[in-house]
Amino acid sequence: MKPYLVEPALTEAEIAWIDQQIARGRFPSRTAAVMELIRRGLEPERMPASYINDPNHWRRRAAEMRALAADANAEARTAMLRLAADYDRLAARAAQRAVGLLPTRQS
């Protein structure tokens, strides 16, 4: 019996996004990039050019870190909660940049 391989139908824009992300070194393989695209359920046109300036990205990371910390030992929990706080600060800075309160590049 042959295993079924499911290959998602990708648009040219999605394929271009995947190729671009691999070229930038964001993903180690095409499969990893496709999985990220599927996991997020986003079209590449809606993806931010950089997560650095996306406050919601950092807020999600903070929430994920807090969820992981709930099941961790005390030492790991402390580190994870510290990372979550750092992500919160990154979200605040990204939100400030979005409304023009902070420069987009640091000197």
The mean pLDDT of 68-87, rounded to a whole number, is 92
Task: Tell me if the pTM is above 0.75.
Answer: no
For residue 47, give Cα distances in angstroms to 27, 57, 59, 99: 16, 11, 16, 19
Q: How many domains does the chain have?
A: 2
At 90-101, the pLDDT tens digits run: 999 888 877 776
74 belongs to a structural domain:
yes
- What are the pLDDT digits (tens) for 58-70? 899 899 999 989 9
More reliable by pLDDT, 67 or 16: 67
Q: What is the pLDDT of residue 4?
A: 47
Same-domain check for residues 28 and 43:
yes
* Full residue range of the structural domain in which residue 88 is found: 52-98
Statement to judge: residues 27 and 56 lie in one domain: no
27-40 residue pLDDT tens:
787 777 777 777 76
Per-residue CA distances from 67 to 24, 62, 71, 84, 88 (Å): 29, 9, 8, 10, 14
